[in-house]
Chain A
């Protein structure tokens, strides 16, 4: 039973380029979450999606960041015109339907480095 799959594991971009991070949830999971982790800090919630719907994007920066979870295929976190401050580890998690008592299962993350 495959876990949450994130790719790439490492991504290097130059300032001004676009970064695309992919996340395939666990089988049977219809809820996807994106978090950002900076060194020596905890996880900061970014966005919560269900298939074709953004449920909560209160943690997303207002500009340059977007997320989608299409009917088919993985969830995508897209960062346009990247800047040095975007360097971080980005984690995706998924959970099954069933409410807030369902634990979230995490991928191994994508480490984004901006040159």
Chain B
């Protein structure tokens, strides 16, 4: 069975500081992993995806994530936080025998000026 766990429902960072949002997955086979961002009153927007081509995945808005099989992790990072990064972030894993996605409970990122 596939699932994801996002540690830390709320994360606060100072503007310009490193952003680290954690995601751990459980999967019986190599998964497909995704990070999405949700701004208030909007739908989810794809940040990046891991599909086994490369373990370090670069996404939009300066975000990247590294797939670590040994740690079953897919943490999202950004070197320098910007005020516009304040949003809700969701990690998701796809069911590899179909198209269903399993989402984490989300991490709310606050950027302090």
**Could you list which residues of chain A lie within 8 angstroms of chain B, going by C-beta atoms?**
4, 6, 31, 33, 35, 40-45, 48, 55-56, 91, 93, 95, 99-109, 111
Contacts and interface: CB of A to CB of B under 8 A. Distances in A.
A95 B41 contact: no
A63 to B, nearest CB: 22
Contacts of A111: 41
Nearest to A42: B105
Chain B interface size, under 10 / 10 to 19 / 20 to 34 / 35 or more: 20 to 34
Interface in B47-71: 49, 51
A48 B100 contact: yes
A60 B95 CA distance: 18
Contacts of A107: 43
Nearest to A35: B103
Contacts, number: 68
A42 B43 CA distance: 12
Interface string B29-57: 00010101000011111100101000000
Contact of A100 (B9, B99, B106): B99
List of 4 A-B pairs having minimum Cβ-Cβ separation, nearest first: A106-B43, A100-B94, A42-B105, A106-B44
Contacts of A105: 46
Interface of B: 9, 32, 34, 36, 41-46, 49, 51, 90, 94-106
Nearest to A6: B43
B2 to A, nearest CB: 10
A33 B36 CA distance: 16
Contact of B98 (A4, A55, A103): A55
A33 B101 contact: yes
B95 A100 contact: yes
Contacts of B103: 35, 42-45
A4 B43 contact: yes
Contacts of A95: 99
Contacts of B41: 108-109, 111
Contacts of B32: 100-101
Contact of A108 (B9, B42, B105): B42
